[in-house]
Amino acid sequence: MAIIKAGDCVGILYFTTMGAPATVHDGVLVSPARLDSRTFNGQVTILHYNINRKTGHLFRQLITATPIEIRKTPFRQSDQTERCTGALPSPSIPAGSCVAVKFKVTPSSAFPAGREVKNGRLLCPIKNGNNPPNKVWIYHWKVRNPNSDDPSLFLELKSYSSVTFVEKARVFPLPKVKRQITCFINGKVSECFLTKHE
């Protein structure tokens, strides 16, 4: 669908520095309240979960950028076949929710706490995000041809294992600490903002 509304799960594609590969972030659209992805040409703000790599704790960010491309993350009930087991009468996190999934990774210099996070749209309902199933499926966006002048988004449905925590994305209260970064859109400098919840 081309119409995207605030609260929808989305992926945005943009350049952060001249000559750098294109970057994609998944999250929840905060503003504008409504846009048509086929014709929109302006700034958007999304809420995105990140992780403190030293402690493994999640934090929320607001990312404001002028995207090359923005897409609404779909949900297909047919994809649940053979991936979701059993029905949950009252799951705490319903299928189709925008989520952050925290999972174990091998400790390294990049992830000393041994934890990573992915944002996306949940395929199978979860009864308790504090005690999630070991494997969780989400839809999220990736970049095709990130080093080219014409990168684009493509959708991936992927399972993550060794999951320790799943949170349904919380937009409010909004994070308040703002840091400015520079983005390059079509070779021109554009102001982008990264807001970190502290």
By CB atoms closer than 10 A (0-12, 13-18, 19+), residue 113 is middle
> Which 3 state secondary structure label does DSSP give 80?
helix
Q: Where are the beta strands (DSSP E) in the chain?
A: 3-5, 9-14, 23-31, 34-36, 44-51, 58-65, 69-72, 98-104, 115-122, 136-144, 152-160, 163-168, 177-185, 188-196
Provide the residue type at 137 as one letter: W
Entry pTM: 0.87
> Residue 27: its pLDDT value, please?
97
pLDDT band at 34 (very low <50, low <70, confident <90, very high): very high
pLDDT in tens, 128-169: 999 999 999 999 999 999 988 889 999 999 999 999 999 999
Average pLDDT rounded to a whole number, residues 121-132: 95
